[in-house]
């Protein structure tokens, strides 16, 4: 007859071996899934940060281009209206695309802060983003100055200055929101690593 202790030991060993054969691959698979999820999160964060950079770059380009033409209007330097319109279309199209992608992807929720009285509001009363609206208004003001150049009236120059100040104010609010998002993404990435 066989020893009951040996039989129990053999059964225990077989049970432990079977358990290891099942649990071991599960743990390896789980670890692999965690690593894949970590890589996916880092990739998503990189894409989102890329979209943020695109918004900041395209709006900065539009603002700098407007400033350059506005300076010429202030100095009384003539500008080619066709050249201005082409430059504005390129800048507007790039910024609008970046802002639209951000809205579509959920990166920016334009009415995110609309219920809070002291928080920035990204949605204007005309249903477009406030920063985009500010750019459109400033573009119209600078265009008006170019049309009336080289002797643009002081009232037109003041209108340009006001419109450009609104652009900077709205860009600042948007930049603050976007930088906050980058900090969140960087924190998530650091936690995943």
Find out whether 171 and 165 touch, Cβ atoms under 8 Å. Answer: no
Is the pLDDT at 58 greater than 70? The verdict is yes
Reported as a single tens digit per residue, the pLDDT across 67-119 is 999 999 999 888 889 999 999 999 998 988 888 777 766 666 544 333 333 43
Q: pLDDT for 125-170, tens place per residue?
A: 444 577 888 999 999 999 999 998 788 899 999 999 999 999 999 8
- Rounded to an integer, what distance in angstroms lies between the CA atom of residue 189 and that of residue 193? 6
Name which of 88, 93, 95, 180 is nearest 140 in CA terms. Answer: 88
**The pLDDT value given to residue 112:** 38
pLDDT score for 188: 52
Class of the 4-192 domain? mainly alpha
pLDDT at 9 over 90: no
pLDDT band at 179 (very low <50, low <70, confident <90, very high): confident
What is the rounded CA–CA span in Å between residue 84 and residue 135?
14
Query: What is the pLDDT averaged over residues 4-9?
Result: 68
- Residues 6+ positions from 175 with CB-CB distance below 8 Å: 56
Verdict on whether the full-model pTM lies above 0.85: no
For residue 16, pLDDT beyond 80: no
Paired with 129 in beta bridges are: 123
Nearest in space to 99 (alpha carbons), one of 122, 119, 126, 77: 122
Q: How confident is the model at residue 178 (pLDDT cuts 50, 70, 90)?
A: confident
pLDDT band at 185 (very low <50, low <70, confident <90, very high): confident
Q: Which of 31-35, 106-110, 174-178 has the lowest mean pLDDT?
A: 106-110
42, two tokens: 């880092």
Eight-class DSSP state of 79: -
Whether residue 95 contacts residue 128, with contact meaning beta carbons closer than 8 Å, is answered with no
> Which parts of the chain fold into alpha helices (H)?
4-75, 81-105, 130-148, 154-192
The whole-angstrom separation of Cα 112 and Cα 134 is 19
Do 55 and 99 meet the contact criterion of CB atoms below 8 Å apart? yes
Measured between alpha carbons, how far is residue 42 from residues 37, 61, 98, 188 in Å?
9, 28, 21, 8
């Amino acid at each position: 007859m066989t020893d009951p202790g040996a039989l129990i030991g053999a059964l225990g060993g077989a049970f432990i071996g079977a358990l290891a054969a099942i649990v071991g691959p599960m743990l390896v698979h789980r670890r692999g899934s965690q690593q894949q999820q970590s890589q996916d999160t880092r990739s998503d964060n990189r894409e989102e940060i890329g979209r943020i950079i695109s918004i900041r770059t395209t709006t900065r380009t539009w603002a700098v281009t407007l400033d350059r033409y506005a300076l010429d209007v202030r100095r009384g330097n003539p500008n080619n209206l066709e050249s201005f319109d082409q430059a504005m279309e390129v800048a507007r199209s790039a910024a609008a695309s970046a802002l639209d992608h951000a809205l579509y992807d959920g990166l920016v929720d334009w009415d995110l802060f609309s219920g809070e009285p002291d928080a920035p509001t990204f949605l204007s009363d005309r249903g477009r983003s406030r920063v985009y609206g500010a750019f459109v208004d400033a573009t119209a003001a600078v265009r008006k100055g170019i049309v009336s150049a080289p002797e643009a009236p002081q009232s037109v120059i003041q209108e340009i200055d006001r419109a450009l100040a609104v652009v900077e104010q709205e860009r600042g609010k948007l930049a603050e929101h976007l930088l906050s998002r980058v900090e969140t993404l960087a924190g998530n990435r650091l936690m995943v690593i």
